[in-house]
Chain A
Amino acid sequence: DGGITQSPKYLFRKEGQNVTLSCEQNLNHDAMYWYRQDPGQGLRLIYYSQIVNDFQKGDIAEGYSVSREKKESFPLTVTSAQKNPTAFYLCASSVGQGDNQPQHFGDGTRLSIL
């Protein structure tokens, strides 16, 4: 079955540490997205990518970095500069620009501070 796989499901970060969240899709989608969800709030866009080797900042990119070296993969690094990283992180994909197709989501990674 095609879909989006996020790993790990739970992740703990120590002070001053960078951590990387994995997102892999086998839907052959061009576009991929990272969102952050805090309790009682909607999702907020961190980064998005419309094509391999290209990505753009979303609304809350500070303290995060991404790469898009392969079409299938869009890893997110939460750096030590992100002072409040505790949240639920969701990765999504869609066919591509102008597709007017729904976004497909993974099951998320929950990040906590040790």
Chain B
Amino acid sequence: KQEVTQIPAALSVPEGENLVLNCSFTDSAIYNLQWFRQDPGKGLTSLLLIQSSQREQTSGRLNASLDKSSGRSTLYIAASQPGDSATYLCAVSSDSWGKLQFGAGTQVVVTP
């Protein structure tokens, strides 16, 4: 069964620093990998989706890489801002039916 792990569970950085968030998964046979943001008491907002055939995706200050052979994905957020404070969740889909296996998330605080 696919297991998804996110380390660290929490991270605090000063404004302006680059953020590096890690996600690992146990089964490399994935369909896609998604990164989400969750604000307190809210639902999830999709940030990036990487298909299994892709190595990375970029959107603005966000860049996500995927290495299936090592079972890892990394989300980079450049020049962090206080508004980036949130919990970031990684999720893996192992087939085309869209069922996602989630990591527990990394809680990020960006201090002014």
Contacts and interface: CB of A to CB of B under 8 A. Distances in A.
Contact of B105 (A33, A42, A90, A98): A42
Interface residues of A, number: 30
Given A90-B44, A106-B43, A107-B43, A43 B100 contact: yes
A50 interface: yes
Most chain A CB within a 10 A radius of its CB, from B96, B98, B100: B98
B99 A45 contact: yes
Interface string A43-69: 111001010000000100000000000
Contact of A100 (B36, B51, B102, B103): B51
Given A100-B31, A105-B45, A107-B42, A48 B89 contact: no
Nearest to B44: A105
B34 A58 contact: no
Interface in B1-44: 4, 9, 31-32, 34, 36, 41-44
A101 B49 CA distance: 7
A94 B98 contact: yes
Nearest to A45: B99
Contact of B34 (A33, A40, A42, A103): A103
A13 interface: no
Interface residues of B, number: 26
A84 interface: no
A17 interface: no
For the complex of A and B, 6 pairs with smallest distance between CB atoms: A42-B102, A102-B46, A105-B43, A98-B96, A105-B44, A43-B102
A45 B104 contact: no
A102 B34 contact: yes
Contacts of B99: 33, 45, 48, 58
Contacts of B49: 100-102
Contacts of B96: 97-98, 100
A93 B43 CA distance: 12
30 contacts: A4-B43, A31-B97, A31-B98, A35-B102, A40-B104, A41-B104, A42-B91, A42-B104, A43-B100, A43-B102, A44-B102, A48-B97, A50-B98, A90-B43, A94-B98, A97-B97, A97-B98, A100-B49, A100-B51, A101-B49, A102-B34, A102-B46, A102-B49, A103-B34, A103-B98, A103-B100, A107-B42, A108-B41, A108-B42, A110-B41
